[in-house]
Structure 1
């Protein structure tokens, strides 16, 4: 990793308020120089699912800008019904995998670390943009046990390819109402066999996916798993109403071999359950003992977040006091930044060096291209 991403390169008294964000972190065979992660963000800039040179450059710029770990946008596994559009990247096929090999090469050359987010859209494969519209969407209630096995195997193949291509780990997208998440939820999983019913049966599919990936990559290749309470169709949805229910869902995933849980929320600082100030990432760390990633409006307060999304206005907040406070308490281990990194590839380096006057605010224009 380049020395330019190390807090040691900065005068000790120049950025004392963000020092906890620039401690090194290690899990398995992965070591990163700081706790700031690029969150996975779907960009739809991969025609026919193939990430081109501009995608590699896009990720490499964030690596040069000091991001400790890059999690790629969701990239779909090799199952016929996995992709929601033809412009999200694939993680199967020689053409797409060659594109991802270039991403790895350029990110590593820039001193960064990168893991792919492996994805199956499940029932969210709908609308006018789906590839192969004659292929039906796959959900918990539509898949036979043998078809479930095929999906699990597709994730395992993708995991093996991630390691072969030189990625530094992988993340499974188990949140936001996509296929893995659909199995976890009562509202989308009404199966009466071993994959549905009580929480331990609903989590079986996710655990099988984690186990297949672990078997494919061995013990030291980090396996991250993203979870969320909310879904793309319901921001108020609840995966688990209580810590006990959440623990029942998560325990088999820990046993299956997950190393890190990426806890996607809308606001990382909000308490997750009554009677405790812990957010989702804090609760998951407490319940599992695993490292966690916090994500949700980091660097954006409520009003700025809404302005950015609804009104298209610029939004930027270089004050990270709450994030630093919780990181210093070790409530979570990593913090994923999304929209601010779209507008400003050097956001991490600028925060590290105290160059707040140089920060470029997020605006909706950043969504229109790969800056």
Structure 2
């Protein structure tokens, strides 16, 4: 039996800001990207702000209209990265099988000789006591079910889905709780088969889903039954660096997407600097509302770790390849074709000789 934990840090950016400034606790707090006076966008917000309808990717002006008393602070990605790294280091003390999937999410596989539920309780308690952060954890037999379960009990939640009960647990949930069931997919499922819950989806014959959605239909069918054999992918030798963000609501305006691209470009540049690499290729990843994924890249004449260069290339790729009629569910910025900074220095020395 596999024991897979999914950990999600609750309102992570906002929580870190409150940790650094306790006067913010208990107040509606918005962490914003871009210029607050013009085209700013909500990156995340505290649960107090969410009660007013504020959510990530919302234009800041709309958020201020909904919650005029909100306190607004700018994104400080380098600080959040430091706190994220502390969390990941703690997780690796519990298990070597840790897959970090974003700055505030990770999967952890607990080996059979340990009690997965006890390990999850230990992780949640230690993150609270030692790092003063809040998290939600789900324990299940695979990655898909643990992620879905985690999202049902936020914030500060804890849930266990025993092996053999996966389909029973999933059945009553809205089909939109399944990763990959975006708005376009949901509309098609409802129109063709009357699907509203994951249980409804599980009753649709596999071949019909395959005919309608291709490989994605197979994924939907397997997921609805609670099947997922995806392995935990631990850290490897660095071949690429990337960041991506899945939005609570699909984005349609360039300004909002630019803000996310700028933030992720800065994060990728910091990671290159920390790891001691330069990159030759800049990559932009888009996932549309219908779950179609588009990846485009550009290769530079000279390798770089410059945030401005990465941002400029990523924005140009968006302008060139984004089909404006398509709403965007996910944006990612990455780099590959990496070379060590020291190796570049050595090449320059050799050329100079």
* TM-score, normalized by the shorter chain, greater than 0.5: no
The structure with the greater share of residues assigned to strand is 2
